[in-house]
Amino acid sequence: MKTKTVFICQNCGTQSPKWLGRCPGCGEWNSLVEEIEGADGAAAGSDYSFPTSEPVLYRDIKETKNPRLEVKIDEFNKVIGGGVVLGSVTLIGGEPGIGKSTLLLQVSRDFALDGQKVLYVSGEESLEQIKLRGDRLGVRDGQLYLLAETSLERILAQAEKIMPRILVLDSVQTVFSGNLASSPGTISQVREVANQMFRFSKRNQVSTFLIGHITKEGSLAGPKSLEHMVDVVLLFEGERDHSHRVLRALKNRFGPVSELAIFEMAASGLQAIANPSAFFLKERPAHAAGSSVAVTIKGSRPLLVEIQALVSSTLFSSNPRRMTVGLDHYRTAMLLAVIEKKLGYGFAGDDIYLNVAGGLAIDEPAADLGAALAVVSCLKNVPLPQSLASFGEVGLSGEIRSVGLALARVKEAAALGFTTVVLPRSNAVGLERDTPAGVTLLAAASLKQAIDLVF
């Protein structure tokens, strides 16, 4: 009998009977991979289910407060909404080398020390390798079991035997089910693995963490296609050449997704950074033109970052460069146009570089004012006052628009010793009352006014 094959997009899971250069589902190029339909049929990933299957009257459903296990790493605990829910499945994605195994081994260590039974399954590293890392992380006592295995069926058999409270699977891409003929890491395998783990977790009230590798573009080889199956999706991000890592929730069936934690990769593992603003400002140069401090919001908390601008005359005057790192490119282009038009600066023949120090990416317009102040400070070659911070969105007519969480931003600036905060006038109304002592608010309705107030 001829084996049946099907082409599956490794990005979104769309199936096609024949190979296509471009996925009709998500538009990704070269993402279709031929997979053999196995005994269960390829990509049968959607038939996960709960143990009960009887309809129940709504009013008869008992209210349960989801019991949670607290994670010792406070910041991690906050991100997942105040503890790991029993029987929940959490997918944690991130680029290779970012620190996923490290983080989960630390979490496992803490649970084990806390008297919980933990099973850490690795399909990537040998037991000796994991132990080597564990020694650095201070893993010692407790019921932490390690298993180096890639067969899903054998993993489940061991898990049934040990019956841990917490199970870590590192990673979904390396584990495969014998039921399917396709190779490990393909979308049908990844789905089957997640599917089986999901059922195991729900059936036995085991909290499971699935580690998934994702690429810079977002998703190659499937974790993206698991997002709908699991209860919680966490993303672990960072730049390779910076030591900080950001953990945030993309989806959480048991809590908000607004919290975010920042860690630093140190010699003894990941350390939570309790005061991220101070961390990101610690290397800020004193009295340098082109440097400004913006108060942004990351997750639900304010964060101070340094924005640096450099304007230099270009060698190729017909094609000046506009480079941004950590800021949105299009927003910055718009902002520069506003500065030219509304403030009367001419830099058509100059290269302009904007950078968020520390490698953080800012994705809210409230950093506009900070970016504009950095550019103007560089153009004037006059440093901004060292103790000045700012926030506000800049509109196309040069107006400064209000942003959310103004008071929280002012308070964070005050907490870090900033004495002057430039902010949208509409935000300043009524804010004086709550402003911490010693902080002066400079309210501006337009960029022009802000510049006049500051310089």
Binding site for ligand TYD (CB under 6 A): 94, 96-102, 133, 136-137, 265, 267-269
Backbone angles phi, psi at 389, to 5 degrees: -125, 160
Residue 416's φ and ψ, nearest 5 degrees, are -95, 10
Q: How far is the CB of 76 from Mg ion (least distance, A)?
A: 17
In the complex, which residues of this chain contact Mg ion (CB under 5 A)? 101
**C-alpha 301: how far from chain center:** 14
Output 133 or 380, the one with its CB closest to ligand TYD: 133
- In order of 100, 121, 124, 126, 145, the CA distances from 270 in angstroms are 10, 20, 20, 21, 21
Residue nearest to Mg ion (CB): 101
Q: Pick between residue 99 and residue 424 the one whose CB is nearest to ligand TYD.
A: 99
Which of the listed partners (Mg ion, ligand TYD, none) does 267 bind, with a CB threshold of 5 to 8 Å by partner kind?
ligand TYD
Pair 403, 393: CB distance under 8 Å: yes
Residue 288 contact partner, candidates ligand TYD, Mg ion, none, CB within 5 to 8 A by sort of partner: none
Nearer to ligand TYD, 11 or 174 (CB): 174
Q: Tell me the pairing of strands 420-424 and 166-170.
A: unpaired
450 binds, among ligand TYD, Mg ion, none (CB under 5 to 8 A by kind): none
CA distances in angstroms from 19 to 6, 9, 164, 188, listed in the order given? 9, 10, 43, 16
Specify the residue, 81 or 269, whose C-beta has the smaller distance to ligand TYD.
269
Shortest reach from residue 121's CB to Mg ion, in Å: 12
Nearer to ligand TYD, 81 or 94 (CB): 94
Whole-number Å distance between alpha carbons of 83 and 67: 9
For Mg ion, the closer of residues 133 and 322 by Cβ is 133
Q: CA angle 228-234-237, nearest 5°?
A: 130
Query: Nearer Cβ to Mg ion, position 101 or 186?
Result: 101
Question: Smallest distance, Å, CB 134 to ligand TYD?
Answer: 9
**Please, are residues 162 and 119 in contact by the beta-carbon 8 Å criterion?**
yes
State which residue, 118 or 367, has the beta carbon closest to ligand TYD.
118
User: What does 251 bind: Mg ion, ligand TYD, none (CB cut-off 5 to 8 Å by kind)?
Assistant: none
Minimum distance between the CB of residue 275 and ligand TYD, rounded to whole angstroms? Answer: 21
Could you tell me the smallest distance in angstroms from the CB atom of residue 197 to Mg ion? 17
**From residue 370, how far is each of 51, 245, 333, 353 by CA, in Å?**
54, 23, 15, 14
Task: Supply the DSSP string of 426-449, one letter for each residue.
Answer: HHHTTTGGGSPTT-EEEEESBHHH
CB of 429 to ligand TYD, least distance (A): 46
- 343: partner contacted, choices Mg ion, ligand TYD, none (Cβ within 5-8 A by kind): none
Q: Locate the DSSP E strands across 230-300.
A: 232-238, 244-252, 260-266, 269-272, 291-298
Q: Which does 218 bind (CB under 5 to 8 A by kind): Mg ion, ligand TYD, none?
A: none
DSSP assignments along 46-114, one per residue? T----S--S---GGGSPP-PPPEE--SSHHHHHHTTSSEETT-EEEEEE-TTSSHHHHHHHHHHHHHHT
- C-alpha 121/C-alpha 200 separation (Å) is 14
Asked whether 290 and 309 are in contact (CB, 8 A), the reply is yes
Nearer to ligand TYD, 261 or 336 (CB): 261
Closer residue to Mg ion, CB minimum distance, 211 or 230 = 211
d(CA 197, CA 119): 13
Q: Least distance to ligand TYD from the beta carbon of 98, Å?
A: 4
Question: Which of ligand TYD, Mg ion, none does 269 bind, CB closer than 5 to 8 A by kind?
Answer: ligand TYD
97 is in the binding site of which of ligand TYD, Mg ion, none (Cβ under 5 to 8 A by kind)? ligand TYD
> C-beta of 120: minimal distance to ligand TYD in Å?
12
Q: Given phi > 0 = left and psi -120 to 50 = alpha, else beta, which region is 265? A: beta
- Shortest CB 74 distance to ligand TYD, Å: 19
Smallest distance, Å, CB 395 to Mg ion? 45
CA distance 9 to 201: 28
By DSSP bridging, strand 207-213 and strand 166-170 are: parallel
Binding partner of 136, given Mg ion, ligand TYD, none, CB within 5-8 angstroms per partner class: ligand TYD
From the list ligand TYD, Mg ion, none, partner contacted by residue 133 (C-beta under 5 to 8 A by kind) = ligand TYD
